[in-house]
Structure formats: C-alpha cells, structure tokens
Amino acid sequence: MKTRIKIITGIVIMTIATAIGIGGIISNAASANEEYTFYSDFGMTSMWSFIRAEWERQARNEREWSSWFKPKNVKFDDNKMLLTVDRNESGLTGGQVYTSQTYGYGLYQVNMQPIKNSGVVSAFFNYYQEGETGTEIDIEFLGYDTTKVQFNYYTNGVGEHEYLYDLGFDASEGLHTYAFYWASDAIIWYVDGVQAYKADINIPQHEARIHMDVCAGDNPDWVGAYDGTAPLTAYYDWISYTRIENMN
C-alpha cells in the first residue's frame, strides 16, 4: 500500500513541477519523497496522532441545525478512520479530528470515501484562525451530489473562491485520492493524481492544522436540506503531508 501511495505522490509532484515550470528542481520525485513529513494509515497509533474535537456548531437561522462534534463519532477500525453523523439525546452529532501540529506549503493528500446524503458534508482541509489572520484550504463533498467535489480557500477570513469539479464517478462508491498542493503563490487541487483546478489570487500564507470532519444540516442553501437520516459514515483510508523544498 505505501509503495503505491509513493507512486501517486511522485506523479502528482511531477505534474506540479510541469504546471508551474520547476521541473528542473525535482529530477526524481520518488527518491525526493522517500519519506513523508507526516503520514497516517489510521492504524493503532492514530489515537495519538489526532485530537478528537468536541464543540458545538450553533444554527444561524431556523432552517439550520445545531450540532455537536463528539469524540465518540470518531473510530479507528481495520486501518481506516470512520467519521459518523449521528444523534444523541441532545440532538445531531458529527465527527472531527485535527493534528496537534501545524504544516505549511507542500502537498496534502487524502484517500477517502465521503457520505452520500443531502445536507451532509464530508471534508479534508487545513485551518488556522487567530484574530484577523487565518488560513483554510478545502476539499469538500456535498452529500446531495457526490459525483462532484468542491474546492475552496480562505485567506484571513476572506473566501468566496468555491469551485465545483465534476469527478466523472460517484465518490461515495469507493476510495479515491484527493490532494492539494499549496505554495506561496498558488493552490493546485488533484483527483487521483490528475490536476483538477488551480487558484492564484490572494493565497493564504500561514501554517495550519490538518482537519477532517463530517457534519449535517449546517446550511441547506449550500449543502441541501438534511432529511434526518442517521447514522451515516465517511471512510478515510490514509492521509499524508509532504513538504516540498525549494519550490517557491
């Protein structure tokens, strides 16, 4: 499995090099990335690699749902992480994990299978916010149509960079690899090693933690109306971050 992942990483990095004109800097992508800066296959040690979130998402209007991120909605089983949307006596619950360490420019990858259900979001992203300073780069699946994936980013709280990409397959039916390469002057998103979208305006600059989460009913104008179905589970097979030196 790890050998296959390294091959994917090499292909993506060489594609990046070609796209931004730096092919001469990395002459051998596979050997240049023999080890990841951070990698998890959600095995036995994963409980120490991630923080399980517990906080409340408050509804902003009567059409939305308040919900809690609960640690019990995060499970590690058979070298996968399972994030679940569910209910308890207090109402709707979701699952979220994040790294204790922050990471900067480089290649971020996830192998995952999102939830298919209107009103539900399955996500992989980085996030940092302190006052007016912040970073967020998103890979998000809107459960009403999992034949598409949404890319987005925020710089110091300023977003509105959404781009909906047609996958050509249903992401909820199997595991696929999604990635973004973040540099000081651009973000490039990938699906199974193929470039899908590039942004180069007002790019965020601050290191951020890696996050993964699932939630429901947050904003029906964005994700569709949630029908109350629970439990619903997204599967995360592995994630990686590779710092790419001398590429900026």
CA 165/CA 155 separation, integer angstroms: 21
CA 82/CA 96 separation, integer angstroms: 10
Report the candidate in 179, 161, 121, 125 with the shortest Cα–Cα distance to residue 145: 121
Q: 130 pairs with which residues across the strands?
A: 133
10 Å CB burial of residue 238 (0-12, 13-18, 19+) is buried
Q: Catalytic residue among 89, 136, 173, 245, which?
A: 136
Q: Does the annotation mark 136 as catalytic? A: yes
Report the candidate in 134, 139, 77 with the shortest Cα–Cα distance to residue 111: 139
Q: Does the annotation mark 245 as catalytic? A: no
Q: Catalytic residue among 132, 140, 173, 207, which?
A: 140
Positions marked active-site: 136, 140
